[in-house]
Amino acid sequence: MTIDTSPAYSPGWWLNTLLFELGSRQDRLTNLYDYYRGEQSGPWGPTNTEAYQRFQSKARTNWASLIVEATRERMKVVGFRTGADGDDLGDREAGRIWRANDMDVQSLRLHRAKLAMGDAYAMVGPVDPRIGAPRITVEDPRTCITSDDPADHRRPRAALKVVRDSVMGRDVARLFLPRDDGRAVMLTATRDVPRQIESTGFDWTTAGFEWAAQGVLFPAFPVVRFPNRAGVDGVSLGEFEDVIDDIDRIDLMILQRMMVAVMQAFRQRAVKGDLPHTDPETGEAVDWASLLKADPGALWNLPAGIELWESSNVDLTPILESVKADVRDLAATTRTPMFYITPDAAGGSAEGASLQREGLIFKARDRIEETTDPWGQTMATAFLMAGDTARADRSQIEVIWQPPERFSLAERYDAAAKAQAAGVPWRTVMLDVLQFTPPQVDQMEQQRTQDSFLTDTPP
């Protein structure tokens, strides 16, 4: 059925609107992803010189990935607590759904996309018989988008996911719209495209799309947005998006250092005086380029009065120091410890390293706080998809994170002994001090029971 995009707020209107918004942000998201992958454009320079372009590609540095991963590796979900099962070890049914979807790995990918590109999405589907749980997928912000209510950015008004199936030769767009009864409807639109077409050729318009089938009802809105560093206006920001100019400046100075070093390795030489163009004895033309060929074993016999000039060395220290200064500014701006960036910084004092790490921990805690509600909403939606209304109460779902701080085994066990001496409950010590995961604590609890039984049983 042909899609009518003219009635405001109709499914066709939403499809057209979201496709336009998704297409308009492709350049920004692709640029951010290229920086994260270290595939950004080379530093500024001539574009008509092949040799210079090779230097440009070699001068690129992947600071963006380091900035993202330094935070991402401190964001790990270890469990959930719900109103139906509120023990300290977390809800076992939530853990089962999490493991069935391999979310220990998928969540890392979501956090990586959120930190790198400023947004990421999770999509929750009905129970998949293959895994025996609601299907949870991580969605790329370049192919998925939501339109949030400006009065409440946590409330989506519509969502769209588009994919290109190059093997089957079609584009598929799935539009999600909320209903007044709390449920949501999914409408699917398709259009035929040439097989094996390049993904860069996607047309971000409704031209050619047709509704494929009747809508499918879901018990809850299935798309959850994970914004990064969102402002009061709901606009998100990639972890390194506001320091791209700093990264470019560092790459440019590295390029200049490379060029100067190469030019010094192959110094420029010139001849002072007039070289004869012909041999005075034979009268034949003299090929001075071949005679004055640079070679460790070459011996030059120059005519009287001829001198050679050679370019002098250039001190690279100012360039190296300027790069170090820019890197320090980049580390300070992004709150990335210097010992992550330069190995020699790891040799500083323990107090200095602790102060540097403190900023990273505060940043990681901020990212954890803004990611907690979306993960809670994702699990609440998964429970609704499974028909488990007792656990689906979002206000009763608590996300359990691994603490972003990292301590040595000696430090943790010393703190654990002191905590137990102060009367802190055993489970709290295992979870908060020794930083075991809820499944590990659950297993240790059973082992403690077995050990106690064996100890109390007479021989």
- Concatenate the DSSP letters of all residues of 380-433 into one string: HHHHHHTT-TTT--GGG-EEEE--S----HHHHHHHHHHHHHTT--HHHIIIII
Residue 360 lies in a domain: no
Place of tokens 């499974």: 386
Residue 89: pLDDT band by 50, 70, 90 thresholds? low
Same structural domain, 102 and 166: yes
Residue 206 lies in a domain: yes
Identity of the highest mean pLDDT range in 88-102, 310-324, 355-369, 381-395: 381-395
Q: Is the pLDDT of residue 96 over 90?
A: yes
Same structural domain, 235 and 289: no
Same structural domain, 226 and 287: no
Same structural domain, 170 and 106: yes
Query: Contact at 8 Å (CB) between 225 and 57?
Result: no
pLDDT at 161: 97
Mean pLDDT of 61-85: 90
Q: Is 274 helix (H, G, I), strand (E, B) or coil?
A: coil
Mean pLDDT of 31-58: 78
Mean pLDDT of 173-189: 95
End-to-end Cα distance, the chain = 80
Q: Is 453 helix (H, G, I), strand (E, B) or coil?
A: helix
Residue 84: pLDDT band by 50, 70, 90 thresholds? confident
Residue 43: pLDDT band by 50, 70, 90 thresholds? confident
Mean pLDDT of 324-337: 86
Same structural domain, 304 and 444: no
Q: Is the pLDDT of residue 348 over 70?
A: no
Mean pLDDT of 110-136: 97
Residue 22 lies in a domain: yes
HSE, side-chain direction, 13 A CA sphere, residue 293: 6
Q: Is the pLDDT of residue 352 over 80?
A: no
In this prediction the pTM is: 0.82
Q: How many domains does the chain have?
A: 3
| Residue 382 or residue 336, greater confidence | 382
